[in-house]
Amino acid sequence: MKEGKTVVPGSELCVIEEFMSGEGTYEDNGIVRAAVLGYVQYDMVNRVVKVKKVHGGPFVPRQGLIVHGIVVQVSDEVAIVKIMYDHALRRIKHTYTGVLHISQVSSKYVQSMHDAVKVGDVIKAKVLNNSIPYLLSIRDIKLGVVISHCSKCGGRLIKIGEELLKCVECGNVERRKIAYDYIITK
């Protein structure tokens, strides 16, 4: 294998007679394989092959992280969210599915998920677990809807109260669980 080539765990690098297994590699029945995602390095003097680990791999939601997503489905008790952005609103390569349960919307009583989020809303949420589907929470004041559009005409909604948004086109007023940093204000 050529030096500097990117390898994934399990990639065959050489046979043990050519080079000994070094950092980031392992031996498997006489074959030296990559143990990590990284770049192949050959030490010709000591006859050791290494794999220099690549840092900063693809974004994967993890418990405690803040993410942004688009609400794609809403029922009375649950909203399905496509997680598409990290905490800094950088687009992530792959989308992940998140589930927002009504119990994770607010510390106050919420009668229906339809009172908190609607399809098409962009929300900022906290990830509660490390597996798919990711469980989300918007209970914190910093979390909730950050961008929304009118359910009647599709116009921009501006923040007019703690939980109220008003359409700039038709004047329709709608209720949401709004994040403290909602994008569009008066």
* CATH placement of domain 66-175: 2.40.50.140
Domain ranges of the chain: 6-53, 66-175
Tens digit of each residue's pLDDT (9 = 90 or more) over 112-138: 999 999 999 999 999 999 988 999 999
Q: What is the mean pLDDT of the chain?
A: 91
Given this model, what pLDDT does residue 56 score?
Answer: 60
Rounded-to-10 torsion of CA 81, 85, 88, 89 = -100
Q: What is the mean pLDDT of residues 142-154?
A: 95
CATH of domain 6-53: 2.40.50.100
DSSP the chain: --TT-EE-TT-EEEETTT-EE-TTEEEETTEEEESSSEEEEEETTTTEEEEEEPPS------TT-EEEEEEEEE-SSEEEEEEEE-TT-PEEEEEEEEEEEGGGT-SS--S-GGGT--TT-EEEEEE--SSSSEEEE--STT-EEEE-B-TTT-PBEEE-SSSEEEETTT--EEE--B-TT-S-B-
For residue 151, pLDDT beyond 90: yes
The rounded Cα 91 to chain-centroid distance in angstroms is 9
CA distance 89 to 167: 24
pLDDT at 3: 76
CA 111/CA 43 separation, integer angstroms: 65
pLDDT digits (tens, 9 = 90+) for 46-90: 999 999 887 666 678 899 999 999 999 999 999 999 999 988 888
The model's pTM: 0.69
